[in-house]
Amino acid sequence: MSEILRAFLLGGCICIVGQVLIDFTKITPARIMVLFVVTGVVLGIFGLYQPLIDWGGAGATVPLLGFGNVLAKGVIKEVDEAGLLGIFTGGVKAAAAGITAAITFGYIMAIISKPKIKS
Amino acid sequence: MKKQISKHEYQKLVEEKAPGSHFIKNLFAAFITGGAICAVGQIVMLIFENFGADKELSASATSIIMIFIGAFLTGINIYDEIGKFGGAGASVPITGFSNSIVSPAMEFKKEGHVMGVGAKMFLIAGPVLVYGIFASVIAGLFYFIWKQVM
């Protein structure tokens, strides 16, 4: 139970950071998403994101910061194993599940559903 | 004809539009929405761990499930309502990423399967992937150099 509560608290706090950025700086949600993924990569490459995952579980992996962290961790792993080539393969390899799921489910849902008529 | 409003009404209108009045409410909504989405993620993750998957595998399987949930709720026109309430609480989680794929793809369906659905899917997801992957290459390059030097 406490694991779910911690995920709620950490995930909620990360989203508050996003909301503060939207309300104070007027940057669009799309830019927030880009910013969060890139920030996740930076935190991930220095190993700063793992403590958050250890504490908050899905509260850290579900936000887009976690997606950035996956990219960074993937690139570290591949550089360790494959050297220079790993720079190009690591990120997408680690994020493959997420990217492919997003494209597949995104495409299917877009095809079978109808947009709401805007009144 | 111009609508006449009294000084009192105008004052009220200014207060409503002024930044700060909805600020706390927005933060609270973002916290609740984002927290709830992550709590659902944690439940999914615990189910996978219960079936014997290790932490890393559970995390990526959870991402797939959350992406599906985001796409599904967008398809049945519910996620946009969640977004109106939750703001960043709905766009920061990975469900918001899949919402950003389905939403424009649905809207531009009439422009065809290639330049409509296929292209517009990446209206927001495209930049996210471009900068995310580019950042990972830069990070990898730095890590590679750091390894040679150390």
Residue located via tokens 């993750």? B45
Would the pLDDT of B82 be above 60? Answer: yes
CA angle A55, A60, A66 (to 5 degrees): 135
For the segment B89-129, what is each residue's pLDDT rounded down to a tens digit? 999 999 999 999 999 999 999 999 999 999 999 999 999 99
Quickly count: other Cβ atoms within 10 Å of residue A110's Cβ. Answer: 27
- Per-run averaged pLDDT (10 residues), chain A, 119 residues: 94 97 90 97 97 97 97 97 96 96 96 76
Residue of B27, B74, B82, B136 to mutate, interface with A, max A Cβ within 10 Å = B136
Residues of B in contact with A99 (CB under 8 A): 129
For the segment B35-48, what is each residue's pLDDT rounded down to a tens digit? 999 999 999 999 99
C-alpha B57, offset from chain centre: 22
Question: Counting beta carbons within 10 angstroms of the beta carbon of residue B53, is it exposed (0 to 12), middle (13 to 18) or buried (19 or more)?
Answer: middle
Would the pLDDT of B50 be above 80? Answer: yes
Instruction: Tell me which residue in A4, A63, A67 faces B132 most closely, judged by beta carbons.
Output: A67
B91 vs A66: CA distance, rounded Å: 14
Residue of A3, A19, A26, A93 to mutate, interface with B, max B Cβ within 10 Å = A19
Q: What is the value of ipTM here, to two decimals?
A: 0.94
Which pLDDT belongs to residue B117?
A: 94
Of A33, A3, A68, A95, which Cα lies nearest the Cα of B95?
A33
Are the beta carbons of B102 and A109 separated by less than 8 Å? yes
Which pLDDT belongs to residue A95?
A: 96
List, as ranges, residues 18-77 from A with C-beta within 8 Å of B. 18-23, 29-30, 32-34, 36-38, 40-42, 44-45, 53, 56-59, 61-64, 66-68, 70-72, 74-76
Instruction: Tell me which residue in B32, B45, B101 faces A106 most closely, judged by beta carbons.
Output: B101
**Contacts (Cβ under 8 Å, ≥6 apart) of B14:** none
Min CA distance, A101 vs chain B (Å)? Answer: 6
- Residue A94 one-letter amino acid: A
Residues of A in contact with B68 (CB under 8 A): 101, 105
- pLDDT-derived band at B18 (thresholds 50, 70, 90) equals low
Helix or strand run (H / E) with residue B104: helix B94-107
Min CA distance, A47 vs chain B (Å)? Answer: 12
User: pLDDT averaged over chain B?
Assistant: 91
Residue boundaries of the structural domains of chain B: 23-123
Contact between B138 and A38 (Cβ < 8 Å): no
| A42 to B97, B125, B143: CA distances (angstroms) | 19, 19, 11
Name the β-bridge partners of B93. Answer: A63
Are the beta carbons of B135 and A105 separated by less than 8 Å? no
Of A62, A47, A50, which Cα lies nearest the Cα of A4?
A62
Residues of A in contact with B76 (CB under 8 A): 113
Contact between B93 and A30 (Cβ < 8 Å): no
**Contacts (Cβ under 8 Å, ≥6 apart) of B131:** A34, A37, A38
Residues of A in contact with B35 (CB under 8 A): 7-9, 11-12, 15, 59
Instruction: Tell me which residue in A12, A68, A109 faces B132 most closely, judged by beta carbons.
Output: A68
What pTM did the predictor assign? 0.89
Would the pLDDT of B58 be above 80? Answer: yes
**Contacts (Cβ under 8 Å, ≥6 apart) of B62:** A58, A61, A62, B41, B44, B45, B48
| A70 to A6, A91, A93: CA distances (angstroms) | 20, 7, 10
Residue boundaries of the structural domains of chain A: 2-112
- pLDDT-derived band at B6 (thresholds 50, 70, 90) equals confident
**Contacts (Cβ under 8 Å, ≥6 apart) of B67:** A98, A101, A102, A105, B94, B95, B97, B98
Residue A117 DSSP SS3 = coil
Would the pLDDT of B143 be above 90? Answer: yes
Closest residue in chain A to residue B66, using alpha carbons only: A62
